[in-house]
Amino acid sequence: MLRIEWDPKEGIWAEDSDSIEKLQKNFFGEMKGGKLFLEVEDALYVLVFQNGKCFHGGQEVGFDELANHYAGKEERLFIKFNAYRDWRDRGLILKRFSPELRGRKKEKASLKKYPAHRMETRKMDLKIYWHGDSFFSIAENEEYGRELFAKYWFGQWGVYRQERGGILKLDFLETIFLAKHFGVEVIDAKTGKRVSHNDILQHVTREREYAKQLYEVYEDWRLRGYVIKTGFKFGSHFRIYFPGASPVKQDKWIHSKHVLHVFPKEQKMLVSEWARAVRVAHSVKKTFLLSIPEMAKEDYVEYPAYFIAYRRKQEKGSWVRETPEDKPRYLMVAVSEDEHIGGVELASLLKKAADMGLELLLSITDRETSITYYVLKKILLPESDESNEYYEIEWMKP
């Protein structure tokens, strides 16, 4: 039997040599003054899954009594315990967060670099009509309309995936971009007066929340040579085509492999909604990208991190678990499907992980206490606006 002792003032520990030996073998606890001290999640796991017994003053203490005592001291205790339980059940090790620990990656080495080619813009003697209540503009000029669609993939020429209808339809993002970078003249369809790209952006921002941030991200990728189209069918803001993609050249790759969701720093999103968008992208074999725009140095906050996680490594042709003698891989944050996470908090956690040479791992507990894991990796988009942060999010099976 594994025996552990508990005193509300002193903590939780094992003191008999047999229990200490068995616990240390699986990297539970830390030795101090001849005792092996355990975190509450260690102790709860030992009680439920290691046939352990806990005693206080000679009286046996059950799971509820121990958990209830620490519930007021450890915020969201059960969510953290469930993440701990799942990782341990997989034969893997994790420890409480310590700022002194450093991972295996240097900050630059952990970045995923995307190709970028500065977009060549030019002035166009083109007039388009803005339908403000529909958030679309129309170009009837066939010469310029076909060029914008075929060469740059702006708008939709004719009917989607058909040749019918000789007009170019442009959404509000494309309209603003063309007015700003191609000198296209935009006329308000209702008033007949010319409107600037700022006028359109201000109008849309009044009607649609976070339109400004959507445009900033759209412009950032467009100027790097990417084609950005709606991601509506995939539950995201954008689908992304790498430089060179075209809607008419059959020798070019015309299937998007990435979708991008804009997560404004002021916004808080239900974890289940966020995870659902990632799952939709993965179900159609697309990489899910996340953007947190307009992050300034003063925006970052100290958001609590919970665990440092180890995985497995190859050694002499076999896979063996990593231990605290190895450099850790992940900064793990445990959340549930029924809570919210904000853009600022997520960006702050990502920065903390990168500074420590770790990748950020989100552990999501659903209502059946099953766990889903997502790894977030920062993207380097050359010459991009530094205030816009981009990340790849991948489902991970430990």
247 or 227: which leads in pLDDT: 227
pTM, full prediction = 0.86
2-74, which class in CATH? alpha beta
Reported as a single tens digit per residue, the pLDDT across 189-203 is: 999 999 999 999 999
Closest CA to 77 of 37, 50, 36, 43: 43
Residue 355: pLDDT band (50, 70, 90) is confident
Provide the β-strand partners of residue 289: 260, 392
Q: What is the pLDDT of residue 254?
A: 65
Closest CA to 294 of 379, 387, 201: 387
The span from the CA of 21 to the CA of 2, in Å, is 10
Would you call 241 a catalytic residue per the annotation? Answer: yes
Task: Give CATH 3.40.1170.20 domain extents, the chain.
Answer: 2-74, 119-208
By CB atoms closer than 10 A (0-12, 13-18, 19+), residue 247 is: middle
Q: Exactly one of 286, 306, 373, 374 is catalytic; which is it?
A: 286
The span from the CA of 244 to the CA of 119, in Å, is 11
CATH fourth-level superfamily of 119-208: tRNA intron endonuclease, N-terminal domain (3.40.1170.20)
Reported as a single tens digit per residue, the pLDDT across 274-302 is: 888 888 888 888 999 999 999 888 999 98
Average pLDDT over residues 63-71: 95
The span from the CA of 225 to the CA of 41, in Å, is 49
Q: Exactly one of 25, 108, 255, 297 is catalytic; which is it?
A: 255
Residue 250: pLDDT band (50, 70, 90) is low
Query: 197-207 and 172-181 helices cross at what angle (nearest 10)?
Result: 160
Q: Exactly one of 144, 215, 226, 241 is catalytic; which is it?
A: 241
In the predicted structure, residue 253 carries a pLDDT above the cut 60: no
Provide the β-strand partners of residue 395: 374
Would you call 237 a catalytic residue per the annotation? Answer: no
Would you call 282 a catalytic residue per the annotation? Answer: no
